[in-house]
Amino acid sequence: NSNPGEGKLIETIATLNKAKPENVVLGAGSQEILKTSVRAFTSPFRPLVTGAPTFENCTGLCRRLGHPVHEVKVDSQFRINLEEMLTVVRGAGLVFLNNPNNPTATVHSAKAVQNFVERVRRISPDTVILIDEAYHDYVTDPNYQTAIPLALSTPNVFVARTFSKAYGMAGLRIGYGIGEADTIKPMARLKMPYNISVFGIAAAIASLNDPK
């Protein structure tokens, strides 16, 4: 249930990230990835843990499904409050960590993200952590790094990316999730068939092959 070229796009994303095709799932923008993760990992008994304010996609769908949501207010610097999130993470189905955070334009360092992931894994090993890096390409903080290598080497962690921002392809609706194969599998099962267009696939492959 995929369009021509989809396998080639998955392969291109995988190769760029030293991963395999089974580590990647495509979405109609990263919004589909976010919504699919809510469907895959939250339930009436498995809450979503998220920031406030943050990108509201996961929060909105979770509420519509009637699944519980723990919204954790950002700190005094408008950063996602990782310490507070840890206090409500036990038993959660999904943690949504938008880094950099939209709409507060704040970012956590690679070290802070890694430390947070390690602590979540200790407190609540079954909880899945979604790190949304939609604004990755705009970060100027030298302490920031993508969490993709962390996701590829850690169970229950994945990164969402989109072509809508820096690639200027918002209307073409292409995003992807990347992580360990077992983390990606439940989302690959739920993805909408033929979810991205042939034109979008061609544009995404061309963009990835020409970063300049």
Q: How far apart are CA 209 and CA 178, in angstroms?
A: 18
Question: Could you tell me the pLDDT band of residue 187, with boundaries at 50, 70 and 90?
Answer: very high
At residue 27, does pLDDT exceed 90? Answer: yes
At residue 3, does pLDDT exceed 90? Answer: no
Does this model's pTM top 0.85? My answer is yes
pLDDT in tens, 52-111: 999 999 999 999 999 999 999 999 999 999 999 999 999 999 999 999 999 999 999 999
Query: Mean pLDDT, to the nearest integer, of 170-184?
Result: 96
Tokens of 80: 């996602």
Q: How far apart are CA 39 and CA 77, in angstroms?
A: 32
The conformation of residue 23, written as its DSSP 8-state character, comes to G
Tokens of 32: 């589909």
The CA-based dihedral angle spanning residues 110, 188, 128, 145, taken in that order and rounded to the nearest 10 degrees: 0
At residue 212, does pLDDT exceed 90? Answer: no
Tokens of 110: 């690679």
